[in-house]
Amino acid sequence: MAKDQYDAFNLNDPHVDVPLDPIPQFITMRLDRTLLRPVDAMNSGKGTVQYRRAQDPSIFLTSWAKVDHLVLPPGTSSGPHIHHEVGNSIT
């Protein structure tokens, strides 16, 4: 990506004459490697990965179920699994 060039796109929503939320709905988190824990053969994957649940379902008011923080060192993998909370997607 070139300097001063972004991958965002225009949704054609001018957001004019709309009420503001009394409390803005921004969710933040820290992706801190010191909070990760080792998991061997995650979902039948290879080796030991570093993992933690960064955001659990209780903070979301939408169909999002969770946000996980996963670090895959070279030569490791995480096997496939189904997200039952949000349908039959495989990640």
Cα–Cα distance, 26 to 31 (Å, whole number): 16
Nearest to 25 by CA among 64, 61, 67, 66: 61
State the Cα torsion 60-62-72-40 to the nearest 10°.
70
* Total number of domains in the chain: 1
pLDDT at position 47 is 98
Cα–Cα distance, 42 to 80 (Å, whole number): 9
Query: Which residue range(s) make up the domain with 71?
Result: 35-78
Is 14 contained in some domain?
A: no
Is 21 contained in some domain?
A: no
DSSP conformation class of 42: G
Is 64 contained in some domain?
A: yes
Is 74 contained in some domain?
A: yes
Is 8 contained in some domain?
A: no
Mean pLDDT within 18-30: 75
Model confidence, pTM: 0.61
| Mean pLDDT for all residues in the chain | 79
pLDDT at position 89 is 47
pLDDT in tens, 54-67: 988 777 766 667 88
